[in-house]
Amino acid sequence: MYLDPSKPLEARVDDLLSRLTLEEKLALVHADSKFTTAAIPRLGIPRRWLSDGPHGVREDVGPDTWKPAGRTDDFASWMPALIGLSSTFNPALSQAYGDVIGEEALKRDKQIMLGPGVNIMRTPLNGRNFEYWGEDPFLTSRMAVSYIRGVQSHEVAACVKHFAANNQEWERGTINVEMDERALREIYLPAFKAAVQEGDVWAVMGAYNRFRGEHACHNDYLLNKVLKDEWGFKGLVMSDWDGTHDTRQAVMNGLDLEMGTEKPYESFYLAGPFREGLSKGEFPMSILDDKVRRNLRQMIAIGALNGRGPGAINTKAHQETARRVAEEGMVLLKNEGGALPLDDTKIKTVAVIGENAVQLQAYGGGSARIKTFYEITPLEGIVRRAGQRLNVTYSTGYRAEPDPDLVGRAVHAASQADVAIIVGGLNHSKYFDAEASDRKDMKLPYGQDELIQRVVEANPRTIVVLLGGGPMEMGPWLAKVPAVMLAWYPGMEGGNALARVLFGDVNPSGKLPCTFPKKLEDSPAHALGAYPGKNGQEVYAEGLLVGYRWFDTKKVEPLFPFGYGLSYTSFKYSSLKLTEGKDPKGPLAIAQFEIENTGTREGGEVVQLYVNQTQPGLPRPVKELKGFHKVFLKPGEKQQVSIPLERSAFAYYDPDKKGWLAEKGEFTILLGSSSRDIRLEGKFALSQTSLEK
Ligand code: BGC
């Protein structure tokens, strides 16, 4: 019966559970190699493969080491980093991205993909910011849910991680995080909740850090109370690799699958020691059964017992999606005097400068690295796009080991060219965008500040392209250069995408999913001296005021605000109408307005809706993102947009009432092209107070 796909999932799970021996049950709750759990051939349960990560299917390692397995069939498509996907503000594209991940995972016979990570950007320095979606819980939720749906539409489970409060790499395995309940509920948990309740994600990975004194991988409050009891999560909780530390807590506090412990597999907490505790009657058998059920649910739900489809890898469609995400995720930060797009009929020589123009990025960053089929670098993309018409030169300009000659040669090359394009920023070396360490500051490394200034002195038509996974300081040179393009880590098609955006084949439409502060000390966790914690503990002193919530409420001027990004065209917003929702099950309000492309090029705009409550019962940030919509318009084209406002758009978490409170009274609805470029405003009055648990 458990093999019959026409039978209900729960009945199949119960049936299979009843056939398992104790040893077989135990085998399903811990690893038997770095990324697998054991097969149970007599019942047709295959070996279960898990794989990183968010940006593609990682190469195989192991079995008992982190070293590459040395296979020739473990290449994958390398997709743009999630921070760039987030910048698209396009959930449909996020779903298409998830589709690629799911289809390739199936081809590589992986059952669970270890992503997406949905930790919030609390500090610009987090070494893993590139793997996450920025600073806003609403944006992260919308994008992650779509990603998960994409992955899970291919007989593959997604695994949302790292639950919870894993917002820095510094002391990540030990740091104890303390924060108030409102910050937890309003900032750090929403994306996990949405992944569970809307994305129906089959797996959740615990975090390395401790939370309120207990390790997150076996944390009674987070896993038992919030995730399973309150949210009704039915799938499995796995540990992060080597994130399990205690048998009793692992058994009792909600962990269902132990991975990566640095011990022989039989000595894993959920192996030998668990068996011993069960035999002594220290743990009830029902607790093992619950863990096994959760594991079986995932396997049966994705069809792992019935033979899954073939999948596909690095198809034309995958390459196309990679390129579209890269194109739509690029953020035009500055563009003066029409410096961009470049017109290849009006220039003859382009001097490309900078190590990141040629640096391969795919195989870096830690667990998110990808053994990619190919990687089009920025230089290659520019040469492919414009090399036939234009003379493209290349000069290194800067590199990790200082070399004063490089600057001189780059300056000379720039002086000989019509346009200079500096491709700089960060990379995946330790202390930049890399797992297990944080950045040390927000500055550009390797003397790039000086290089940029010298080059722009030699050639005022200098375009700066930045790669990186988070905010970078630009103070020394920003005023001097006419154009800056932020490309994040744009994936295997990145160079092609960049060239298409620079030469105007594509109009940039990416928006920042995080604030770029002028300097690190402006950022809340740093302004308050909270980061990186003291004596193994970090108190999130800024509470709710993360990212733009802090900058706006405290009136701190950022370098670039959340939601910011320019276009080669312009948009006009008009005719806002706020109406009350009529359907009792539908949204409480609907914001309707018109948007028109008033420029000369086709382009996309991300309309952002922020909510402000005039007199909240508890203090609230001055604005919070509660809706967005991306529109693509031809020149002169006008469109009606409506954004629904659910009850959740008005509510905040009331820790005393332990629920989401939407208060009767006045709200201001702000519609803008960024969090600081509000184009339309309207008032809306909620007629009733309501509380939801
Ligand atoms: C990372 C996870 C990853 C796991 C397996 C850990 O170090 O924190 O994100 O999925 O390794 O590679």
pLDDT tens per residue, range 640-650:
999 999 999 99
131 close to ligand 1 (CB < 6 Angstrom):
no
The band of 692, judged by pLDDT with boundaries at 50, 70 and 90, is very high
Average pLDDT, the chain: 98
Single pTM value for the model: 0.98
pLDDT surpassing 90 at residue 443: yes
Q: What mean pLDDT comes out for the span 357-373?
A: 98
Residue to probe by mutation, ligand 1, list 33, 114, 161, 162, most atoms within 8 Å of CB:
114
Mean pLDDT of 246-264: 98
- Which residue in 402, 294, 296, 393 sits closest to 350, CA to CA? 393
CA 241 / ligand 1 centre spacing (Å): 6
pLDDT computed for residue 559 by the predictor: 98
pLDDT of residue 450: 97
Q: What is the pLDDT of residues 548-571, one digit of tens each?
A: 999 999 999 999 999 999 999 999
Provide the residue count of the chain: 693
Residue 166 CA: nearest ligand 1 atom is 8
Catalytic residue set: 240
Q: What is the mean pLDDT of residues 71-91?
A: 98
Q: Closest Cα to atom 12, ligand 1: which residue?
A: 367
Cα-to-centroid distance, 367 and ligand 1 (Å)? 6
pLDDT of residue 177: 98
Residue ranges of alpha helices (H) inside 153-271 are 181-183, 190-197, 247-252
Instruction: Compute how many other C-beta atoms are within 10 angstroms of the C-beta atom of residue 349.
Output: 14
pLDDT, tens digit, 9 for 90 and up, residues 325-338: 999 999 999 999 99
Question: How far is residue 218's CA from residue 251's CA, in Å, rounded to a whole number?
Answer: 8
The residues, any chain, with a CB within 8 Å of residue 434's CB and separated by 6 or more, are: 127, 364, 365, 366, 428
Estimate the share of the chain in helix, then strand, then coil, as percent rounded to the nearest 5: 30, 25, 50
Contact 397, 387 (CB under 8 A): no
**E strands within 263-405?**
331-335, 349-353, 391-395
Q: How far is the CA of 366 from the centre of ligand 1 (A)?
A: 8
The per-residue pLDDT for 422 is 99
3-class secondary structure for 413-446?
HHHCCCEEEEEEECCCCCCCCCCCCCCCCCCCCC
d(CA 263, ligand 1 centre) in Å: 17
- Summarize pLDDT for 509-527 with one digit per residue, the tens: 999 999 999 999 999 999 9
What whole-number distance in Å separates Cα of residue 124 and Cα of residue 127?
A: 9
Phi, psi at 628, each rounded to 5°? -160, 160
Residue with CA closest to ligand 1 atom 6: 241
Mean pLDDT score, 275-299: 98
241 lines ligand 1 (CB under 6 A): yes
pLDDT band at 457 (very low <50, low <70, confident <90, very high): very high
Give the separation between CA 600 and CA 158, rounded to whole angstroms. 42
- pLDDT of 403: 87
**Pairing assessment for the beta strands 483-486 and 36-37 based on DSSP bridges:** unpaired
Candidate of 241, 257, 437 to mutate for ligand 1, largest count of ligand atoms within 8 Å of Cβ = 241
Q: How confident is the model at residue 319 (pLDDT cuts 50, 70, 90)?
A: very high
Contact 488, 83 (CB under 8 A): yes
Whether 584 has a pLDDT exceeding 90, the answer reads no
Domains of the chain: residue spans and CATH: 9-301 (3.20.20.300), 330-514 (3.40.50.1700), 571-692 (2.60.40.10)
> Which pLDDT score, from 0 to 100, does residue 352 have?
98
pLDDT, residue 400, reads: 86
- Nearest protein CA to atom 11 of ligand 1, as residue: 241
Could you tell me which residues come within 8 angstroms of residue 368 by beta carbon, excluding any fewer than 6 positions away?
52, 53, 54, 55, 58, 81, 128, 130, 131, 435
Mutation to probe ligand 1, out of 159, 367, 370 (largest number of atoms < 8 A from CB): 367
Ligand 1 atom at minimal distance to the Cα of residue 172: 8
State if residue 52 touches ligand 1 by the CB under 6 angstroms criterion: yes
Residue 312 in this model has a pLDDT that exceeds 90: yes
Is residue 114 lining ligand 1, measured as CB closer than 6 Å? yes
pLDDT per residue over 602-634, tens digit each?
Answer: 999 999 999 999 999 999 999 999 999 999 999
pLDDT for the residue 404: 85
Q: How far is the CA of 55 from the centre of ligand 1 (A)?
A: 13
Write the Ramachandran bin of 171: left for phi over 0, alpha for psi from -120 to 50, otherwise beta.
Answer: left
Q: Looking at 305-377, list the stretches that DSSP marks H as alpha helix, in order from N- to C-terminal side.
A: 316-329
Measured in angstroms, how far is the CA atom of residue 570 from the centroid of ligand 1?
Answer: 42
pLDDT at residue 592 is higher than 90: yes
Ligand 1 atom nearest residue 53's Cα = 10
Over the stretch 26-50, which tens digit does the pLDDT of each residue have?
999 999 999 999 999 999 999 999 9
